[in-house]
Structure 1
């Protein structure tokens, strides 16, 4: 944080302070003791105060931290103050008897210097504020200036026209006096009321003080030009110069300390009321003692009252406008606090509030249904098409949902791709029809951000009645929604008692799986892959097993679902990859190892680097590793496709597993960089027509891919697959999954195919 420099660290400011003390002391002493030295010496003291002031003004003007407005102002102050040095010099010559003509010249230069110093203050821009605020400031300035003008005129009239004689010189003198006094009051009031950007608060206030001292002091000195032993200007000019010097020093000090620029004062100010009080006092004085200016005083009082009334009307209007803005902002803040800004739907907070209100305000026979909705594979949209398209899709989904329900139903976006609907007083069959309409509307192709898209969603439904706990209903709807999502068919699931048990079991299983990864409880089994028709083992598929300390050896069906839901599939898959490549590196010949990779793994940035590291660590050549993916993974696009290309660039072979059960298309075979397709076990010939198996084999030949069949359980199936043109196969007919040591012992053997 910037540190404010000491005020008197500047030598010029210390000097001007000391010289002012000498000047004021000398003036006071001469007023009481009589003249101590000739008048030229007094004017030399005036010059001695003004010259260091010029130095301080120059420092502000050349300060790199000063803004252009500040620099221009202090340049003008230097010019105006320099004129007063000339005025003091002419007075020195005049007092020394150099010539009577020097006095009117000095007076003219005095007025010119005042005009020069007034110009920049009059032209200083107000800080940023509304038009009404500026009008209010000008009215306040008018009030103060009018009251000050009346006071000054009172003294001018008593001094210049007390004998009733009105002459040209007296009128000119009165005009000069009025102008100087009003100028000082106006400038000081403007500084206090309005505030100016770029000037620090303390610096600006001392600028106003300098204007007030110079203006009023000059007026008073013109009214009473001769004191018993000196001229009042010998006190006014040094004091005004010192105030300017103090303003210059404050500007430099506060700017260095990082002080804020001076801003406009608060809308409420006591100054106009002080002015009115002063005029009222003069009215009372005139009525009691008969000062002789009754008409003028009354006129000014009327003018000031009118100005103040106008000022109050403007203030009332400002207050009304402010209250209106506050009302609009309050509505906007309330809306933003309860609605989703992207879709315009209710947010989680408002939805929870309405669910709570529904269950607390409904009767025990009133049916309430809550639906939680999660979009399937929405992350793929963000990863492949970008977040802008993802946001556009969310807006599209929100519109389709609103169109499919009643206006009385609450549709909300809870966050991300999760939505919710509250139905009140609707039968279960009507809720199901609404969900069917929503599902049909989402899968209907639509152009979203220039992309033709369809969406599948999973719905979790819970029915409640008045008096139920809102938190329990929301939790149960969430459980049902995850049940529907696990099915993977984009449908809905209604909550049933006992569903929590499955979720709790998955949570417990995931926690135990974390421990298994840390304590090395996992093992890899291998199922051989053989050639057709000779039955030679060419490799094996790696299959993970869990050697549970209490439950024994567990297959993947017991823990893969929990790993997928919790994200543990990523470290689990990495462990299997390293274990499988280490084992395959010990095999003789060119036998390859196949490793299954999940969609979550393939979306991870840098997945090919992870595979490359495993190959390097194990020493297994890339050509002996096959990465197996499902068709749904292959159509992921974006990061998934980039990682697949990266794997192929490494020399790793790619295989489409469970072919025929997912999005099998010719386009997929043409665009996905795979080497092999594996016919799903459900299409292996088993006394039924083998048209699908035959078609898959023909597609593989057409695209130059290797055709492999899995799930072969009989010799007859193996023979038919051989006739269809399949090159490799695996299944219980050839061998069941086995530990690594057992596989090593069988690698050099053959398996009878017939």
Structure 2
């Protein structure tokens, strides 16, 4: 807000202030010294005060910073105030002997001017917005005007009939006195209680003061039209005009400063109580002194009592409504503090409270089961389909969980994709049944935000009893959940002593693996892929090993799980891809290299671009690279499908690894853009039935795919696979995984192509 300009820095305002002081001084001089000049001179002084006021009103009316409503209002003030200039002129002319008829005309014009000035103030809206509050304000105004009417009647209007004579003029005089006085009081109160945003509040208050001065002053001057030394209007009109001038000046000053209007403070609600106190004093005065208006005073007192009763009833109702709203808000705040706003489930705070209460209230033999649940690969949903779909999936999961448990069980969302369930007094077998129902329900395909989805989750379970430490139980459930998640196949894991040590070992292993990637402790071994039955090498599969500085050469079983859990599988897979393509670029002929890709890698945005960069860096043609994926990865949908198509567009070959162990379906083979399928080693014939191996070979031929058998360890297996139609194989019978240098040496002597 800018600084306000000085109030008296306006010449017109300085002029009207000086003229008011002169007018008051001259009026008081005549009161003490007698008439010093003809009465028309007094009316000329009134005109001299009103004219600068009109100038100030005109400035507000034309102020571009004021709103149209404000400008229209001040135009009305100018028009009404101009009428009082005419009133003063008529009174001056009457004093000069121009005609007695000018006085009645001036009275009529006086009333019209008052009506013109009254209209805009009557139209001001109340600050109260609700119907009940508006009714309360009207009752307050009724109280105030009733008390004011009693005072004006008792001390002013009733004096017209003090001698008992009733004439038309006296009735008219009484009506004018009552009307002018009540109008002034009402308008002043209306301004105080008004709620307008366009007017400067200080300026509006002075407009109310102008109305009060003009109304009460006009009533008094009509009561005593001929003071010994002149008409009281010569003092009332300049004061009313000056209050209007002050309001106009403050409107301009506050508008220029950008002052924001303020709503009326609560202290103004004391006005009706002041009115009631005044009437009570009138009652006491009547009882002590006795007056001719006793009946009226008592009647007004009774009426005000009735108004106060109604006003209090309304206030009680408003208070009840306010308390009800506060109660609703309090419940809402309490709910929001203890519940998850997305799913409506209990949040972490409420779940912890209920676990603490459960172990505190339960007996030593009462079983308490806590289950922590984490959705597998939920981040991929957010990254590929957006957070809106992710939120919809969380709501779907929450509904499925609540449907699978009792109403007495507490289901909570702890944050992100982590949920929890508290079972009290439920046998371990029943808990397992509930978790089985939840897992099955989440695996049922559901349309979530327009996307068909299934969810796999990992459950960590811990059983406790009354008196156990709630914090320890939650920590143990968390350890069990991460143990279940480490398996990578969903399902649940029940906490067992010693799991902490395994968790610590996984963390240590993950930290060491991160160092291994940075310090090039990893090496790539290669296992040849050969033709059947001749055994000619057509390529090799890249297999990562860790040359641990203390533990020696480690196979993937020692560190892949840790890499999957921590997300290190992505940089690890990238390292293997680049190392394998660099090595294969130096192989002779059209030998291919196969690289395994994890689900996390294939869901990464831009994965085909990463593969293209590795091919460009090594110089290996795309047709000589085979990316191997598992069946569970192939059905991932979303970004996975897009990335698979992107690899095909590069010219990279795709292979379904461990075929037969996952969700193998004809639909998968028809929709997934693969070039070959690899029979899992568990289905390689070893003296037993070969139905699965035969079926896989037939499917490969039906879809025009290459069929490769892995895990071939004996000559008999190689012969049987050849008979089933397999054209390629790999396994210990042909060659074990070997370092790159050994493979290069073998390629110089072996039959390749």
Distance in 2, matches of 1:108 and 1:213, equals: 19
For structure 1, the 5+ residue unaligned runs are none
* 1:54 and 2:57 correspond: yes
Which has the higher mean CA deviation after the structures are superposed, 134-143 or 113-122? Answer: 113-122
User: Would the aligned equivalents of 1:536 and 1:749 in 2 still touch at CA under 8 Å?
Assistant: no
Distance in 1, matches of 2:572 and 2:451, equals: 35
Following superposition, the deviation at residue 139 of structure 1 comes to: 0.6
Structure 1 residues 15, 613: CA separation in 2 closer, same or farther (over 3 Å shift)? farther
Distance in 1, matches of 2:186 and 2:221, equals: 19
Map 1:150-161; keep pairs closer than 5 Å.
Answer: 150-157=150-157, 159-161=159-161
Distance in 2, matches of 1:95 and 1:522, equals: 118
* 1:27 and 2:30 correspond: no
Distance in 1, matches of 2:658 and 2:210, equals: 91
Structure 1 residues 704, 281: CA separation in 2 closer, same or farther (over 3 Å shift)? same
Distance in 2, matches of 1:220 and 1:376, equals: 88
* 1:612 and 2:612 correspond: yes
Aligned to 1:478: 478
Map 1:326-365; keep pairs closer than 5 Å.
Answer: 326-365=326-365
| Equivalent pairs, count | 746
Structure 1 residues 23-64: Cα deviation after superposition (integer angstroms, max 9, x where no partner) = 22112220233458933541342233222222233145x43x
User: Would the aligned equivalents of 2:124 and 2:190 in 1 still touch at CA under 8 Å?
Assistant: no
Following superposition, the deviation at residue 98 of structure 1 comes to: 5.0
For structure 2, the 5+ residue unaligned runs are 31-35
Map 1:684-723; keep pairs closer than 5 Å.
Answer: 684-723=684-723
- Secondary structure, in 3 states, of the residue corresponding to 1:408? coil
User: Would the aligned equivalents of 2:58 and 2:75 in 1 still touch at CA under 8 Å?
Assistant: no
User: Would the aligned equivalents of 2:16 and 2:53 in 1 still touch at CA under 8 Å?
Assistant: no
- Secondary structure, in 3 states, of the residue corresponding to 2:269? coil
Structure 1 residues 694-714: Cα deviation after superposition (integer angstroms, max 9, x where no partner) = 322332232233333333334
Following superposition, the deviation at residue 690 of structure 1 comes to: 3.1
Following superposition, the deviation at residue 148 of structure 1 comes to: 1.1
Aligned to 2:42: 39
Structure 1 residues 120, 393: CA separation in 2 closer, same or farther (over 3 Å shift)? same
Following superposition, the deviation at residue 498 of structure 1 comes to: 0.5
Aligned to 1:422: 422
- Secondary structure, in 3 states, of the residue corresponding to 2:110? helix
User: Would the aligned equivalents of 2:124 and 2:191 in 1 still touch at CA under 8 Å?
Assistant: no
* 1:661 and 2:664 correspond: no
Which has the higher mean CA deviation after the structures are superposed, 592-601 or 353-362? Answer: 592-601
Structure 1 residues 505, 289: CA separation in 2 closer, same or farther (over 3 Å shift)? same
Aligned to 1:526: 526
Distance in 2, matches of 1:233 and 1:719, equals: 129
User: Would the aligned equivalents of 2:368 and 2:423 in 1 still touch at CA under 8 Å?
Assistant: yes
Structure 1 residues 724, 254: CA separation in 2 closer, same or farther (over 3 Å shift)? farther
Which has the higher mean CA deviation after the structures are superposed, 514-523 or 297-306? Answer: 514-523
Structure 1 residues 357, 413: CA separation in 2 closer, same or farther (over 3 Å shift)? same
Structure 1 residues 283-320: Cα deviation after superposition (integer angstroms, max 9, x where no partner) = 22233333432222221111111111211111112112
User: Would the aligned equivalents of 1:54 and 1:82 in 2 still touch at CA under 8 Å?
Assistant: no
Aligned to 2:269: 269
Structure 1 residues 244, 335: CA separation in 2 closer, same or farther (over 3 Å shift)? same
**RMSD after superposition:** 3.3
Distance in 2, matches of 1:253 and 1:609, equals: 67
Map 1:296-695; keep pairs closer than 5 Å.
Answer: 296-376=296-376, 378=378, 394-395=394-395, 397-443=397-443, 455-695=455-695
User: Would the aligned equivalents of 1:402 and 1:411 in 2 still touch at CA under 8 Å?
Assistant: yes
User: Would the aligned equivalents of 2:457 and 2:490 in 1 still touch at CA under 8 Å?
Assistant: yes
Distance in 2, matches of 1:78 and 1:620, equals: 92
- Secondary structure, in 3 states, of the residue corresponding to 1:573? helix
Distance in 2, matches of 1:732 and 1:128, equals: 90
Following superposition, the deviation at residue 403 of structure 1 comes to: 4.6
Aligned to 1:121: 121
* 1:3 and 2:6 correspond: no
Which has the higher mean CA deviation after the structures are superposed, 263-272 or 130-139? Answer: 263-272
Which has the higher mean CA deviation after the structures are superposed, 381-390 or 425-434? Answer: 381-390
Following superposition, the deviation at residue 470 of structure 1 comes to: 0.2
Following superposition, the deviation at residue 440 of structure 1 comes to: 4.9
- Secondary structure, in 3 states, of the residue corresponding to 1:269? helix
Following superposition, the deviation at residue 541 of structure 1 comes to: 2.9
Distance in 2, matches of 1:254 and 1:581, equals: 77
Following superposition, the deviation at residue 657 of structure 1 comes to: 1.9
Following superposition, the deviation at residue 662 of structure 1 comes to: 1.1
Distance in 1, matches of 2:336 and 2:144, equals: 46
Aligned to 1:104: 104
User: Would the aligned equivalents of 1:366 and 1:465 in 2 still touch at CA under 8 Å?
Assistant: yes
User: Would the aligned equivalents of 2:206 and 2:244 in 1 still touch at CA under 8 Å?
Assistant: yes
Distance in 1, matches of 2:548 and 2:151, equals: 101
Structure 1 residues 552-611: Cα deviation after superposition (integer angstroms, max 9, x where no partner) = 333322222122212222233333333333444444544443332221222222223333
User: Would the aligned equivalents of 1:532 and 1:728 in 2 still touch at CA under 8 Å?
Assistant: yes
What is the TM-score with the length of structure 2 in the denominator?
A: 0.89
Aligned to 2:167: 167
Structure 1 residues 693-744: Cα deviation after superposition (integer angstroms, max 9, x where no partner) = 3322332232233333333334444444444443443333443333444444
* 1:729 and 2:729 correspond: yes
- Secondary structure, in 3 states, of the residue corresponding to 1:137? helix
- Secondary structure, in 3 states, of the residue corresponding to 1:550? coil
Distance in 2, matches of 1:254 and 1:598, equals: 70
User: Would the aligned equivalents of 1:185 and 1:215 in 2 still touch at CA under 8 Å?
Assistant: yes
Structure 1 residues 77, 588: CA separation in 2 closer, same or farther (over 3 Å shift)? farther
Distance in 2, matches of 1:137 and 1:615, equals: 82
